[in-house]
Amino acid sequence: MNNNFAIEVNNLTVSYSKKPALKGIDLKIPHGKIVGIIGPNGAGKSTLIKGMLGLIPLDSGEIKVFGKSLKENFPRISYIPQRESFDWDFPVVVQDVVMMGRYPHLKLFQKISDEDKAKVKAALQKVDMLEYAERQIRLLSGGQQQRIFIARALAQESDILFLDEPFVGIDAATETTIFAIMRKLKSEGKTILVVHHDLGRVTDYFDLVILINQRLIAYGKTSEKFNRDNLIKTYGGRLTILDKTEQLRSQTIN
Ligand code: ADP
Ligand code: MG
């Protein structure tokens, strides 16, 4: 293991109540790439992210972040979970959510500084949501909430971002904004992992793809690995249904 990779995963195996969800996943994710995690419903995509982040118990597996333990580099990672897992029934305003991104930078008992406030403001500006700073987050639309979570990640100035299905249930303008931000972060050398289920956009969006269905089916450059053979291995019979969709037909899959 060394520092040449942003993340290294060795033999990651996860089960829920003895039912296997992921088996023996090995990955080496280089710096500065946008990586898609692709697979059918229940394939273990969210589990892969949670396992890489140490948020769930592992049956086996070792995770390294920039060559070090996950714990040591945890503040350098942002995680935006799948939307249904948020519960915003309590009152919290937008700028406080974004300020959470600054917490890993604060020392014990240290107060929020003007610099922290400026970074929160800049992050809100980047996602075009500054005018919503004082709003209750639960009153925002799905797309607006997603922008706020991106802003929180920007305020954190993390080097690795995990996003779980960030484009589900959001408007096209927000999708474009979020993807433009991902590209910008990539140009700054950041590493971005995105769980994604819309096969139509895969070749546009991702430098690398991880195709999974409990096991790792394929991993590598999108241009090499995102092909019909690997998709059939990943989706099985379900691909015939997907095949009929407009998105897949317009795609140049060989
Ligand atoms: P994906 O994100 O690819 O849709 P998940 O990682 O959420 O898949 O789930 C993988 C499998 O593990 C599914 O069969 C799912 O039902 C199961 N699973 C996920 N989370 C839990 C949990 N907390 N308890 C029990 N089973 C779970
Ligand atoms: Mg999921």
Environment of ion ligand 2 (residues, CB < 5 A): 45-46
Two tokens, residue 228: 């019909």
Amino acid 204: pLDDT: 92
75 vs 2, residue with greater confidence: 75
Give distance in angstroms: CA of 52 to centre of ligand 1.
Answer: 15
In this predicted structure, the answer to whether residue 123 has a pLDDT above a threshold of 70 is yes
State percent of the chain over pLDDT 70.
90
- Give the atom of ligand 1 at the shortest distance from the alpha carbon of 56: 23
165 vs 198, residue with greater confidence: 165
Asked which of 79-93, 155-169, 192-206 is least confident by mean pLDDT, the reply is 79-93
Distance from Cα 45 to the centre of ligand 2, integer Å: 5
Residue range 157-195, pLDDT digits in tens: 999 999 999 998 888 888 998 999 999 999 999 999 999
Residue from 13, 15, 37, 47 to probe ligand 1 pocket by mutation (most atoms less than 8 Å from CB)? 47
Quick one: 29 exposed, middle or buried, by C-beta within 10 A (0-12, 13-18, 19+)? buried
Average pLDDT over residues 32-48: 96
For ligand 1, atom 26, the nearest C-alpha belongs to: 16
pLDDT at 241 over 80: no
- As a three-state string, the secondary structure of the chain is CCCCEEEEEEEEEEEECCEEEEEEEEEEEECCCEEEEECCCCCCHHHHHHHHCCCCCCCEEEEEECCEEHHHHHHHEEEECCHHHCCCCCCCEHHHHHHHHHHHHCCCCCCCCHHHHHHHHHHHHHCCCHHHCCCEHHHCCHHHHHHHHHHHHHHHCCCEEEEECCCCCCCHHHHHHHHHHHHHHHHCCCEEEEECCCHHHHHHHCCEEEEEECEEEEEEEHHHHCCHHHHHHHHCCHHHHHHCCHHHHCCCCC
Binding site membership of 39 for ligand 1 (Cβ less than 6 Å): yes
Residue nearest to atom 19 of ligand 1 (CA): 47
- Spatial separation of the C-alpha atoms in residues 82 and 146, rounded to whole Å: 10
The reported pLDDT for the residue numbered 165 is 94
Q: Whose CA is nearest to atom 15 of ligand 1?
A: 42
Task: Determine the straight-line distance between the first and last CA of the chain, rounded to whole angstroms.
Answer: 35
